[in-house]
Amino acid sequence: MGALSWAALSLPAKPPGLAKASLDRLGESGVAHPVTAVLLNYRGYDTLLEVGVLLLALAGAWSLGRGEQPAENPQSRPLLLSLLRVLLPMLLLAAGHLLWIGAFAPGGAFQGGALLGGALVLLILGGLARRALKRERCLRAGLALGVLVFAGIAAVTMALTGGLLQYPPGAGGALILVIETAAMVSIGLALGLLYLGGQPPEGARRSLLATPPDHA
Amino acid sequence: MPDADYRLYLMASAAIFTIGFYSMLTQAHLLRRIMAFNVMGCGVFLLFITLAARAPGPVPDPVPHAMVLTGIVVSVCATGLALALAGRVQTVTGKTELEPGEDAGGRSGAAHHGSSA
């Protein structure tokens, strides 16, 4: 610990930092909040890979087998259900609000996605997500949405401007909002589904019809 | 903020990291190890945030902030995967820790898994 403290204390007291560079070009980035600009414009590839890491973690968890969900009858927990009735709309609203204000205040896709993930965990705990969890194809599409939209926009803007995630002038704000919306859905789904600790449990009939799971 | 305060935060980040690192080495229970790994991550995040606040300028440096945000998401992913793996270890071997002589346990675990599939 002594060595670590020494290393941390011996860092230059007045580092040049990138604050000035990032604030100077903020007007061109399409958003008004520097952290969002760093995440989705200056260093957009970080965020693209990060959404990929999230997907990879979930694929890893799914490859371990089927998870479990509480088998309890939701009607036996009236308090949880009435709490959910109030909490879920507020969580969804707050997620959308965080996504929108991310352009000019602290917030964005990850914060909104975390709230969506929490909402999904609550749904699973309340036993209300049972039918949704059986529709695995929809879940997979939702999970892949973030990476696909992000990578698609990266490919198109690369063809237009020649730089990876270098947005055409003036289009940054709209593109960032599209990416963030898609990423938020995927992040929320991935975080919520990680809670199961494995692939969603399947119904008996479905497992006979389903194609073999493809973890590639 | 005076310079002494930054020094306090820097030393706190080193302390938090060391606590996590120590537990990572000494605790055998997998859940405790996963928690120790998260505590270590918190130490690194605190270091980054302190450095961002210390950078000159009207607002904190946004680049370390974005990196910490990325780091939090990655550590949540890693934790989720680690918890799923730990759960799997418990289902297969019935234990919540990894044995030192892993070879025999690993093979019997794999055989058990094969028979159940």
- Quick one: pLDDT at residue B112? 43
Give this complex's ipTM: 0.76
In a domain, A15, yes or no: no
What is the average per-residue pLDDT within B8-15?
Answer: 89
Mutate to test the interface with A, among B25, B51, B76, B116 (most CBs of A within 10 A): B76
pLDDT along chain A (216 residues), means of 10: 75 69 74 79 82 91 80 71 90 92 84 92 83 85 90 86 77 84 92 86 51 49
- Check residues B1 and B88 and name the one with the higher pLDDT: B88
User: In this structure, what DSSP letter does residue A115 have?
Assistant: H
CA–CA gap between residue B44 and residue B48 (Å, rounded): 6
Least CA distance to A40: which residue of chain B?
Answer: B66
- Residue B104 scores a pLDDT above 80: no
A84 reaches B (C-beta below 8 A): no
Contact B14, A9 (CB under 8 A): no
pLDDT in the model for residue B111? 42
Q: How many domains does chain B have?
A: 1
Q: Taking residues B56-66, what's their average pLDDT?
A: 80
Nearest to A53 by CA among B48, B86, B75, B64: B75
Residue-range definition of the domain harbouring residue B24: 3-116
Confidence of residue B45 (pLDDT cuts 50, 70, 90): very high
Taking the C-alpha atoms of residue A4 and residue A92, their distance in angstroms, rounded to an integer, is: 42
The pLDDT assigned to A107 comes to 82
In a domain, A22, yes or no: no
Q: Is the pLDDT of residue B29 over 50?
A: yes
Q: Is B42's pLDDT higher than 90?
A: yes
pLDDT band of residue B35 (cuts 50, 70, 90) is very high
Dihedral angle of Cα A124, A80, A191, B30, to the nearest 10 degrees: -90
pLDDT at position A69: 67
Instruction: Give me the number of domains chain A comprises.
Output: 1
Task: Give the integer Cα–Cα distance in Å for A204 and A190.
Answer: 24
Q: What is the 8-class DSSP label of residue A167?
A: P
Distance CA B38, CA B88 (A): 20
- Which residues of chain B make contact with A35, given a CB cutoff of 8 A? 62, 65-66, 69
The token duo for A61 is 């968890």
Domain assignment present for residue A133? The answer is yes
| Residue A9 maps to a domain | no
Would you state the pLDDT for residue A24? 75
A66 has which bridge partners? Answer: A199
Q: What is the pLDDT of residues B68-97, one digit of tens each?
A: 988 998 999 999 999 999 988 888 888 888
**Which of A41, A28, A24 is closest to A102 using CA atoms?**
A41
The predicted model gives B11-15 an average pLDDT of 90
Rounded to an integer, the average pLDDT of B19-36 is 93
Share of chain B above pLDDT 90, in %: 41
**CATH number for the domain including B105?**
1.10.287.3510
Domain enclosing residue A114, as ranges: 33-200
**Which residues between 101 and 120 in chain A have a beta carbon less than 8 angstroms from any beta carbon of chain B?**
110
